[in-house]
Amino acid sequence: MKKSSSLLVVIVATWFALLVGAFVGCGTSDPACSGDSCACPAGSPCSFTCSGGGACDVTCPAGQTCNVTCDPGQSCSVSCESSTSCMVDCKNSPSCNVTAPAANATVKDCTSASACQVTCGGTGVGTLTGTTETCP
């Protein structure tokens, strides 16, 4: 029984390490990020939270997921047009500009259509319903 218990512990530990590694991407401590400006590295998902104090500018890598949380008091610009999905929480920012993929994009907490400028796939505009703008 002791060998099977050890094996189970190794399997669970390996699974956990792989799971954590799948969700680690660009963040505030990443060398590609300086303050509220971040260009997430290729090949990694991007998850970034703006910390306030200045304009926030985030560029997400192609073929990866992109999750950005803006700061309520600052302007926010997110480029995720080549990402597999893009989720941005504008946090009622006075200016939130998102260049999103043609599909799989959600931008929430928009104060108005003029405060949130969402471009879908480089050609179309998002659909605003309440305070959420989506790309089909």
22 Cβ contact partners less than 8 Å away, ≥ 6 residues apart: 45
**Closest C-alpha to 133, from 100, 43, 122, 13:** 100
| Token couple for 96 | 């939130």
4 pLDDT more than 50: no
Q: What are the counts of helices (DSSP H) followed by strands (DSSP E) for the chain?
A: 1, 13
Phi-psi region of 62 (alpha: psi -120 to 50; beta: other; left: phi over 0): beta
Q: How confident is the model at residue 30 (pLDDT cuts 50, 70, 90)?
A: low
Would you state the pLDDT for residue 117? 92
Q: What residues make up the domain containing 130?
A: 2-135
Q: What is the tally of structural domains in the chain?
A: 1
| CA angle at 82 for the pair 51 and 30, rounded to the nearest 5° | 35
pLDDT in tens, 85-108: 999 999 999 899 999 999 999 999
Are residues 108 and 89 in contact, defined by beta-carbon separation less than 8 angstroms? yes
Average pLDDT (25-33) is 55
The beta strands (E) that lie in the chain are given as 33-34, 37-39, 46-49, 56-59, 65-69, 76-79, 85-89, 96-100, 105-108, 116-120, 124-125, 127-129, 132-135
Q: Report d(CA 108, CA 118) in Å as an integer.
A: 11
